Amino acid sequence: MIPRSLLIAVAALLLLVVSMGIYLRHMRRRAAEVESPAADALPVAPPVTGPTEAVTLHVADDAAGILRDQAAQIPLSGGRQQRAEELLRALLRIYQQPGARHPMAPAADIRAIYLVDPGAAVIDLNAAFADQHRSGILSEQLTVNSLVETLALNVPGIERVTILVEGKMRDTLAGHADLSDPFDVSAIKRTGNQ
């Protein structure tokens, strides 16, 4: 015969386990709710107020396989580096619009741009930019050309551009475009309008 006190203790423990499970599930759901909006967030749009400057962006067109010039306004920045980041974020916003001719994932972003004298620039993309990029030679090369040419056109003195992903070297953007070496700006300019 099992003692009555033991039965009560086991029942109490079981009740405790079940209630802890329910509480754990509740906490995980709350945590997921907090995280999900951040993951899907688009890059923050620039402030509409304040001084802006007109720039020209080289925007990729997948169907035509070319870059097209497109005028845009970016916030007037004090620093050269900050201005470069605003430039590429403006470019990225075009690609993230519904119906874009060179669509990119909403989570894609530019982490930072480093301008290293003499003539070198480093573009640091976030992981989503590369991981969710369309795979294909044309699409990936248009992205590279668009970033490099836009930067070189608007930030004088850049001769070569290195592209990193999450601060690290990466073999390819999405399986094709080689990111393991710096890009020669003059070579891209020569071939960009083929």
Judged by CB under 8 A, the number of residues near another protein is 28
Contact status: 118 vs another protein (CB under 8 A): no
Here the tokens at position 194 are 């083929």
Residue from the set 58, 83, 89, 160 that interacts with another protein by CB under 8 A = 160
Here the tokens at position 166 are 């999450």
**Is 89 or 133 the residue whose CB approaches another protein more closely?**
133
Residue from the set 3, 63, 118, 168 that interacts with another protein by CB under 8 A = 63
* Residue 53 DSSP SS3: strand
Handedness of CA 61, 65, 71, 155 (dihedral sign): positive
**Is 72 or 108 the residue whose CB approaches another protein more closely?**
108
Give the whole-angstrom CA distance, residue 100 versus residue 68: 13
**Is 46 or 119 the residue whose CB approaches another protein more closely?**
119
Of the candidates 115, 135, 141, the residue with the CA atom closest to the CA atom of residue 61: 141
Residue from the set 90, 91, 139, 152 that interacts with another protein by CB under 8 A = 139
Here the tokens at position 110 are 């530019």
Output the smallest distance, CB 112 to another protein, in A: 21
Give the whole-angstrom CA distance, residue 185 versus residue 54: 22
Is 90 within 8 Å of 109 (Cβ atoms)? Answer: no
Q: For another protein, what does the binding mask look like between residues 81 and 110, x meaning CB under 8 A?
A: ------------------------------
**Is 108 or 179 the residue whose CB approaches another protein more closely?**
179
Here the tokens at position 16 are 């405790």
**Is 97 or 191 the residue whose CB approaches another protein more closely?**
191
Contact status: 151 vs another protein (CB under 8 A): no
Of the candidates 178, 180, 184, 129, the residue with the CA atom closest to the CA atom of residue 152: 184
Contacts with another protein by CB under 8 A lie at 62-63, 65, 134-139, 141, 144, 160, 171-172, 175-184, 187-188, 191, 194
